[in-house]
Chain A
Amino acid sequence: MSNSHDHNTMNLSLNNVNVGYKRKPVITNINLPTVIPGSLVAVIGSNAVGKSTLLKSLAGQLKYEGDILFHGHSLSAMTHRQRMERIGYLPQTLPQATTLIAYELVYSACRAGCEQLTNSEVEERIEAIFERLGIRDLALMKMQEMSGGQRQMIGLAQVLVRQTNLLLLDEPTSALDLHWQLNVLQTIREETHANNAIAFVASHDLNLSLRFCDQLLILANGKVLAMGSPEQVLTPENLRNAYGIEGRIESCSKGFPIVLTDRACA
């Protein structure tokens, strides 16, 4: 990250971004301080607050007003191919349970998403990502024989295999058990830092976000409630405003901050 300021074309910024569905505004007037490369940002907030909407607009899948600048380019001015080269988006829905085998799913993501790779490059990437996520034994299984959590892992492999600069992951651990939650977030963190990428991870798990993410972006009422380091922004007041709960942030015996929730506000 030391050289990131020299590469000020590699960052992401949002100015006055508005997004809505059929005139019903979901996100209003969002401004984000510039996100520098090598940042893992957790997007948190209550249900229907616009987390997915924000990620979808960053992915170029929703029309928005305002400016989203990535690599110094306006997202809306990028060609389809440019977007594909830069952005990897994991939707909330799991890959379908079909007779496709996992290897083919990831292969098709490479072939449909980054056409310029040679066969051996694709094979190397797939090998590496299955190894990295620890799901080598799933590679030749049919999707319909897998559990929801296993399919979620394959979906994640589909995104990570493309090695994009911007990762937009919508609840990537929603179907995973504790072991895989830790494994996945650890992997995302390492990949993001190693590749000097930017990752936005929408999540409901505050403790995981605290533990793994560099920054938290808290949304409330379609606006940014707070953004900054977890220690700065995760306060009882913000918890109350974002979720309507009474909560505390304490230190565990190992010194990590943890969120304790007491009750829902009346």
Chain B
Amino acid sequence: MNTAININSETSSLASLYRGFVFKRQLLLLLLLLAVALCFLFDISNGPANLSLWQVIKGLFNPDSLASSTRVIIWDVRMPYALMAVVVGACLGLGGAEMQTVLNNPLASPFTLGVGSAATLGASVVIALDLSGLGISYTYLLPLSAFVFASGASLLILMLSRSLGASAQTVLLFGIALMFGLNAIVGLLQFIVDAGALQQIVFWTMGSLARASMEKVAIVGCIFVLCFIFSIKQIWSLTALRSGEQQALSLGINVERLRLTVLLRVSLLTAVALAFVGEIGFIGLIGPHIARMLLGEDHRFFLPGSAIAGALLLSLSSIATKTLLPGVIIPVGIVTALVGIPLFISLIFRRAHEQ
């Protein structure tokens, strides 16, 4: 390729044309971030005691200027709730995007492949066995157990798609079967535990932001940042994998190891995110699709885009939980399912049309 580069002066170089694309995507990412910030503020302002956006902004930047009751509502009641929606949404969006890439399956997500159900089972087991005697706080024990179970489910899916060379549909069906199986075991646990544990497990399966605290937000946030840093290290390999497994192999990418590390990361993201809020479906499926439509699949934009889209979706859902029925806070898992299922079905239809 010693050919001299000879670009006509009147046509700009590909690199500069491409930079136009990059600029547009950076702008879109920024707009998405802005939308998340706006939703976050709305989320805080929304609730039984209605606050204006202006009060919220004042409360965030200059808390002392507000009445102490308002300050408490903003900082102690609504802030953890709203922040939790953002960080959990980001975790699920990122996890879903990475999962779709490594399994080469646009219908994959922690929820649709049963990894979420596995995390639920992991948490339910801890609650059912009443492991509080171990001396480890539930704040750590729940995500840990959820992670172990979620990893197990991810590895099962990985093994299936490796050994059977399974198509996207087969893996999805397997995931759904896994989900039913795991849900049945959770149901069995619900049947045999006492009332207190039952209430906790039910809370889990519904998915709710109501038990958020700043400590939990910090844990989820840290795990997200950690996983995202590792994602960035593999960002080019992931983009290259989108051109095909054979192509990635020929570039010297160790595809098997990439799959394994990514799925473990997705398990961690899912487990930690769901450990504190319970099962929240569809964010990890829809978030990446929005990012893909807006930003394409260069993972430099696709991964952060999916995380931000996930955060935006869950933040919007969180607002919806408070506004759909006046005076009642609906569990957020129910909202995401109600919105997510029609979207999921439309994706299946679109895929069927494409084939």
Contacts and interface: CB of A to CB of B under 8 A. Distances in A.
A158 B252 CA distance: 13
Given A59-B250, A91-B247, A93-B246, A99 B2 contact: no
B236 interface: yes
B180 interface: no
Given A105-B243, A127-B7, A112 B13 contact: no
A143 to B, nearest CB: 8
A104 B295 CA distance: 12
B297 to A, nearest CB: 5
Contacts, number: 126
Contacts of B249: 61, 91
Given A90-B250, A131-B3, A98 B15 contact: no
A24 to B, nearest CB: 18
Contacts of A42: none
Nearest to A104: B298
Contacts of A191: 1
Contact of B17 (A59, A80, A131, A139): A139
B1 A109 contact: no
B239 A104 contact: yes
Nearest to B13: A127
A91 B250 contact: yes
B18 A98 contact: no
Given A104-B239, A132-B3, A140-B18, A113 B298 contact: no
**Which of A108, A140, A142, A195 counts the most chain B CB atoms within 10 A?**
A108
B67 interface: no
B48 interface: no
B227 interface: no
Interface residues of B, number: 33
A136 interface: yes
A53 interface: no
A38 to B, nearest CB: 13
**Which of B6, B17, B240, B243 counts the most chain A CB atoms within 10 A?**
B243
A100 interface: yes
B144 to A, nearest CB: 34
Chain A interface, >50% SS class: helix
Interface string B226-259: 0000000000110110111011111111100000
A158 B3 contact: no
Contacts of B17: 139-140
Interface in B2-24: 2-3, 5-7, 13-15, 17-18, 21
Nearest to B101: A98
Contacts of B251: 84, 109, 112-113, 158
Interface residues of A, number: 51
A159 to B, nearest CB: 7
B296 interface: yes
A195 B1 contact: yes
Given A108-B240, A139-B17, A155-B243, A127 B5 contact: yes
Interface in B59-88: none
**Which of B2, B17, B250 counts the most chain A CB atoms within 10 A?**
B250
Contact of B6 (A111, A112, A131): A131
Contact of B5 (A104, A109, A128, A194): A128
Contacts of B322: none
Nearest to B249: A61
A51 to B, nearest CB: 15
B319 to A, nearest CB: 30
Nearest to B292: A99
A39 B279 CA distance: 60
A204 to B, nearest CB: 19
B135 to A, nearest CB: 45
Contacts of B253: 112
Interface string A35-65: 0000000000000000000000001010000
**Which of B15, B17, B248, B251 counts the most chain A CB atoms within 10 A?**
B251
A126 B1 contact: no
Contacts of B297: 98-100, 104
Given A84-B252, A109-B251, A140-B21, A125 B1 contact: yes
A160 B244 contact: no
A136 B251 CA distance: 23
Nearest to B296: A99
Interface string A147-161: 000000001001111
Nearest to B300: A104
Contacts of A131: 3, 5-7
A209 interface: no
A108 B239 CA distance: 6
Nearest to B16: A123
A55 to B, nearest CB: 10
A160 B296 CA distance: 24
A260 to B, nearest CB: 35
A99 B293 CA distance: 8
For the complex of A and B, 9 pairs with smallest distance between CB atoms: A91-B246, A123-B15, A111-B236, A89-B250, A108-B239, A84-B252, A112-B240, A95-B243, A108-B240
6 contacts: A88-B250, A100-B239, A100-B296, A104-B297, A111-B240, A155-B243
